[in-house]
Structures are given as structure tokens and as C-alpha cells.
């Protein structure tokens, strides 16, 4: 995808950056070469973004052309909205106080250039502000009241407004930004689409291992997609991409959901989409949904303080108690008697007013059926950890143990298991899911629908190899092409 820096005057930016074109605003607005350009990242560094000024129209028409402007029109409005600035102050207050604690005086102005500041001690604050207000160049104004720093104003600036002493560093920050924060090398031959893969470096329960992430990048390249690994620090860069693929454990009340919401709002193709995250990460919702649509599940009670006394009698012992947003076997407890049940419920009710109680179905393994775009993708047997009733045995000290995994052709998996998984996943959406199914007494029961299933090299790809990654990326490709055609 082409990268354009748009300024009022080419003389505002005289330092070349490899594979980046500097364009004056008048040419960008009037030259048919730019209006007909398909796919471009537009960094708007005009001197003013006021309504109906040249800078305003650069961002506005960039959106109309299907380009990726920074800042976009929404950001321009956010910068001017005091309520949004107050919200940002609440979220960033601790970081603001820490970053500015040694500043003398009652006011301070922080220059933010592509998410960076010249002083390293302010880099973290600059990045967080950039994530909240993704504009290439701006100044954040702070005032100190009663020994507490507050964000009072955000002012976007143009390239002409950068002091001469800052300009060389600003250009380097821009070059770093264009090449990607993770240090990936941008291809000299532009690709058709850009895909961001959100991951958490060093996470112990990552849904994709390092080798799988590199497989996605390699296969994407063969489909003319530039895939780049991003982290939670790259929130402000989302608008630069055509799609977001979340390979990080998802929760509604943390950054993965915010990434998904923002990406969807920017018009990106997103997996996992916000609705899938909200639905799949709450087991109370899934229990109600699957029951309503008569999907076979273990005997289940959505428990609250008023009906908790009936759980033991209704389900018998042992039974399983689940906190609604449990993941990776955490927050899921098997209780063997009333005393354990009462103790677990007391703990869980402090976290959620509703919990899920289910009958215990002992099995040697769970089926995991991978599904994408309403089609089966892979089938695995996840065996229980040795001497344990779950596939993961959590040990004190972090030495967890896992059961073995067996991947088989999805065509050879039990037909009833695949059908049950498809019906359950299709109730949630058309994204990427991993459906856990138990086989007991010749019947198949859906345990849960996971929105962020594991895709590890050497495990889930054991049968399809690179074709697993290709099939997933082809869904992204088809959806990106569909969105692009709507913008033509």
C-alpha cells in the first residue's frame, strides 16, 4: 500500500524517506492520479484541520477514496471535544502523574511525533496519547492544579509547526513508524492489503505459537497481503490496516475488545469481531443461547444466589462450576460435595452475580472442531492432562501440564460432533471459532464456543499444514476485496 505525506507546501517536508511520497495538498485534492489511486496510507500534515480548510478536506476525501488517512475525520472531532479529553485524562491519569512528576511549574506542553517524544521518559505517555488521539503530529497541553496534572487540550499541528531543532528526530520517528514498530521490513513492492496480527509477546497462553505467527506472515505474503505483528502499544495505528487478526487471549474488559471495537469502527475486517468476543467470552450467554436453540449441552443451571441451593440436588456430585469469563481452564472448578460447592459459589458470586453450573461428564478427551466462515476447518482430540479432569492441569509455581493432542482430518471426525459444532458456532457468527464437544453415551454435547481458538504450528495444522493458514487468510482476502469493491 502506497504511503503519502500530504503537506500544504512540499517545502514543509524536505527530508526523503524510502518508499514514502511527499505530496502537496492541492495536488492530492485535485490531481486525478491520487483520486484514482487504490489503497494508500495518507499522513495529513497540513497546517490546519479546521472545518472546510484544506487540511480538513485532505482527511475527508481520503476516506471517500478508500484511503487510510491519519488523522481521520473522527479523530479531528475527538481532538476538539472536551468530553473525550476528560475521558482520556481519567484513563491515563496514573501515567500522566508519573511522567510529569518532576516537571516544575504549573503548565507543560508535550510534543508527540508519530507516538514519540524527544525525551525517553515521556515516550510511554506520548504513545498512550497517540493511541487515544491518532494524529501524526500534535501537542498535549497539561495544567497542574492542587499538585495534580490534568490534560487540558490537544492541538494537532502541521509539519511546518515542528521546531527546527526537533525536525530531524521527528523524521526518524516517522520512518520508524512507517517501517512498523516490530521492526518488520516493509516490502518495496506494495501489496494489495495490510493485515495487523495482534499478539502478546511472551504470553504463556497465547492462542498461536511463534512458528504459527510466522506461518501466517509467510502465507499472507503469497496472497499479496502484508501481515505485520502488532502489540497493545499499536492501538493508534489500526486505521493504517485493512484487517485485524487477533491472536491474543480475548476478554471484554481489556484491550483486545477495545482493539476489535476500534478496528470494526474504522471499517477493517476483524477476527475476532466485537460481537463474537462478547458472546463467546461469557458462558452465561452461551448457556442461554444454546439452550434456546436446542443445541445438546450437559444439564446446566444459570446459578444466582436465589437458586444456588438447588444445584446439588439438580445436578448431583461431582458437578462443574464456571465463572462466566473463564478461559484456559481458569475459573472452572469441579466440586465433589455441598461444602465445596458452597465455598466455590461464595467466591464466584463475589466476581459475578451469575455463574454456570453443569453436570460433570467424564471423558478421556474433548473434541475441538475448528470452524471459519461457517465451514469446518480442522478437528482435534484434546486429551485430559494425566491424572486430571481437564486438558490443562494448573500447578502452583506455574509448571502447568497438558494432555496430548491428536489432529485428524475433519472428514473423519464423528459427523454428529461436527454438525453440533457447526450449529453452535453459526448461532454466534461467521468468524473463526473452536467448538468443544464431549462424547458421552453415544451422544455429543457442546461444552462451549471459543472465539479465539488455538492455532499452533505442529498441533492444529498437523493435517492441513500451510493450507490451514491459507484457508483462514483467504477468508480475510475475500472480505477485504468485498469491502474494497464497495468503496470503488
3-state secondary structure of 161: helix
Query: Of 416, 410, 454, 417, which Cα lies nearest the Cα of 432?
Result: 454
Q: Is the pLDDT of residue 343 over 80?
A: yes
Per-residue confidence at 328, pLDDT binned at 50, 70, 90? low
191-204 pLDDT, tens per residue? 789 999 999 998 88
Q: Tell me the DSSP string of 447-487.
A: EEEESS----TTTTTTTTTHHHHHHHHHHHHHHHHHHHHHH
Judge whether residue 291 has pLDDT over 90: yes
pLDDT at 20: 94
Residue 41 · residue 3 · CB < 8 Å:
yes
Residue 477 confidence (pLDDT): 97
C-alpha distances (whole Å) from 257 to each of 232, 276, 431 are 11, 10, 15
Task: Summarize the confidence of residues 29-41 as an average pLDDT.
Answer: 91
Task: Give me the mean pLDDT over the 352-361 stretch.
Answer: 95
Neighbours of 387 (CB within 10 A): 7
Q: For domain 180-276+474-487, is the CATH number 3.40.50.2300?
A: yes
**Euclidean distance between CA atoms 117 and 127, whole angstroms:** 8
User: What is the pLDDT averaged over residues 381-386?
Assistant: 94
- Is the pLDDT at 80 greater than 80? The verdict is no
> Please, what CATH class does the domain formed by 299-360 belong to?
alpha beta
Distance CA 358, CA 331 (A): 14
Question: Same fold for the domain at 82-175 and the one at 299-360?
Answer: no
- pLDDT the model gives residue 185: 40
| pLDDT on residue 402 | 87
Judge whether residue 326 has pLDDT over 90: no
Which of 372-386, 389-403, 433-447 has the weakest average pLDDT? Answer: 389-403
pLDDT tens-digit profile of 108-143?
Answer: 999 999 999 999 899 999 999 999 889 999 999 999
487 contacts 464 by C-beta, under 8 angstroms: no
Q: What is the pLDDT of residues 237-273, one digit of tens each?
A: 898 899 999 999 999 988 999 999 999 988 999 999 9
Q: Is the pLDDT of residue 429 over 50?
A: yes
Residue 181: pLDDT over 60: no
Q: What is the mean pLDDT of the chain?
A: 91
- Give me the residues paired with residue 251 across strands: none
CB atoms within 10 A of CB 241: 26
Provide the sign of the torsion angle of the four alpha carbons 204, 205, 211, 216, taken in this order.
Answer: negative
Q: What local confidence, expressed as pLDDT, does residue 399 receive? A: 75
- Dist. CA 245–CA 289, nearest whole Å: 26
Structural domain 82-175, CATH architecture: 2-Layer Sandwich (3.30)
Given this model, what pLDDT does residue 205 score?
Answer: 85
The DSSP H or E segment spanning 89 is helix 82-100
- Report pLDDT for 398: 64
Extract the C-alpha cell encoding 108. 507543560
How far is residue 182 from each of residues 24, 162, 237, 340, 353, measured CA to CA in Å?
A: 30, 26, 12, 47, 41
The pLDDT confidence band at residue 187, using thresholds 50, 70 and 90, is: very low
pLDDT at residue 84, rounded to an integer: 62
- % of the chain residues with pLDDT over 90: 75
- 123-132 and 82-100 helices cross at what angle (nearest 10)? 170
| Ranges of each domain in the chain | 2-76, 82-175, 180-276+474-487, 299-360
Output the DSSP codes for 361-428. Answer: ---SEEEEEEEETTEEEEEEEEEPPTTSSSSEE--TTS--EE--EEEE-GGGS-HHHHHHHHHHHHHH
pLDDT of residue 191: 77
Q: How far is CA 298 from CA 307, 319, 383, in A?
A: 18, 10, 19
- Whether the CB-CB separation of 327 and 249 falls below 8 Å is answered with yes
**Is 80 exceeded by the pLDDT of residue 460?**
yes
Reply yes or no on whether the pLDDT at 183 is more than 50: no
- What pLDDT is stored for residue 411 in this prediction? 96
Amino acid at each position: 500500500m502506497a504511503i503519502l505525506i500530504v503537506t500544504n507546501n512540499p517545502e514543509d517536508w524536505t527530508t526523503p524517506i524510502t518508499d514514502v511520497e511527499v505530496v502537496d495538498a492541492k495536488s492530492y485534492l485535485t490531481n486525478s492520479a491520487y483520486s484514482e489511486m487504490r489503497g494508500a496510507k495518507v499522513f495529513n500534515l497540513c497546517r490546519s484541520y479546521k472545518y472546510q480548510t484544506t487540511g480538513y478536506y485532505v482527511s475527508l476525501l481520503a476516506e471517500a477514496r478508500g484511503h487510510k488517512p491519519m488523522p481521520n475525520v473522527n479523530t479531528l472531532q475527538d481532538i476538539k471535544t472536551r468530553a473525550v479529553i476528560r475521558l482520556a485524562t481519567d484513563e491515563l491519569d496514573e501515567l500522566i502523574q508519573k511522567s510529569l512528576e518532576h516537571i516544575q511549574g504549573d503548565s507543560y506542553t508535550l510534543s508527540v511525533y508519530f507516538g514519540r517524544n524527544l525525551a525517553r521518559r515521556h515516550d510511554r505517555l506520548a504513545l498512550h496519547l497517540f493511541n487515544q488521539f491518532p494524529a501524526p503530529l500534535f501537542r498535549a497541553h497539561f495544567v497542574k492544579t492542587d499538585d495534580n496534572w490534568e490534560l487540558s487540550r490537544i492541538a494537532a499541528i502541521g509539519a511546518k509547526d515542528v521546531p527546527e531543532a526537533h525536525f530531524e528526530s521527528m523524521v526518524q520517528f516517522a520512518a520508524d513508524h512507517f517501517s512498523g514498530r516490530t521492526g518488520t521490513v516493509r516490502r518495496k513492492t506494495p501489496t494489495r492489503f495490510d493485515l495487523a496480527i495482534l499478539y502478546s509477546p511472551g504470553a504463556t497462553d497465547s492462542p498461536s505459537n511463534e512458528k504459527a505467527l510466522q506461518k501466517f506472515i509467510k502465507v499472507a505474503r503469497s496472497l499479496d497481503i502484508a501481515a505485520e505483528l502488532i502489540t497493545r502499544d499499536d492501538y493508534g495505528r489500526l486505521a493504517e490496516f485493512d484487517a485485524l487478526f487477533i491472536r491474543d487471549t480475548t476478554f471484554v474488559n481489556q484491550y483486545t475488545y477495545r482493539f476489535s471495537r476500534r478496528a470494526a469502527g474504522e471499517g477493517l475486517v476483524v477476527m475476532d469481531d466485537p460481537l463474537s468476543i462478547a458472546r463467546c467470552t461469557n458462558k452465561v450467554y452461551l448457556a442461554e443461547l444454546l439452550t434456546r436453540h436446542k443445541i445438546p449441552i450437559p444439564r446446566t443451571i444459570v446459578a444466582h444466589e436465589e437458586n444456588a441451593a438447588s444445584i446439588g440436588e439438580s445436578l448431583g456430585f461431582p458437578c462443574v462450576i464456571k465463572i462466566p469469563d473463564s478461559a484456559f481452564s481458569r475459573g472452572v472448578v469441579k466440586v465433589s460435595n455441598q461444602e465445596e460447592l458452597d465455598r466455590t459459589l461464595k467466591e464466584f458470586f463475589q466476581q459475578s452475580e451469575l455463574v454456570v453450573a453443569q453436570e460433570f461428564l467424564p471423558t478421556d478427551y474433548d473434541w475441538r472442531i475448528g470452524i471459519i466462515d461457517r465451514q469446518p476447518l480442522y478437528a482435534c482430540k484434546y486429551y485430559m492432562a494425566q491424572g486430571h479432569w481437564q486438558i490443562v492441569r494448573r500447578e502452583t509455581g506455574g509448571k502447568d501440564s497438558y494432555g496430548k493432542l491428536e489432529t485428524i482430518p475433519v472428514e473423519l471426525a464423528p459427523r454428529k460432533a461436527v454438525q453440533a459444532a457447526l450449529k453452535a458456532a453459526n448461532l454466534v457468527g461467521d468468524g473463526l471459532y473452536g467448538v468443544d464437544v464431549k462424547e458421552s453415551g453415544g451422544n455429543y454435547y457442546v461444552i462451549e464456543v471459543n472465539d479465539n481458538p488455538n492455532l499452533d504450528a505442529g498441533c492444529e495444522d498437523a493435517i492441513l499444514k500451510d493450507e490451514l493458514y491459507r484457508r483462514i487468510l483467504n477468508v480475510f482476502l475475500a472480505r477485504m476485496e468485498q469491502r474494497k469493491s464497495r468503496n470503488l
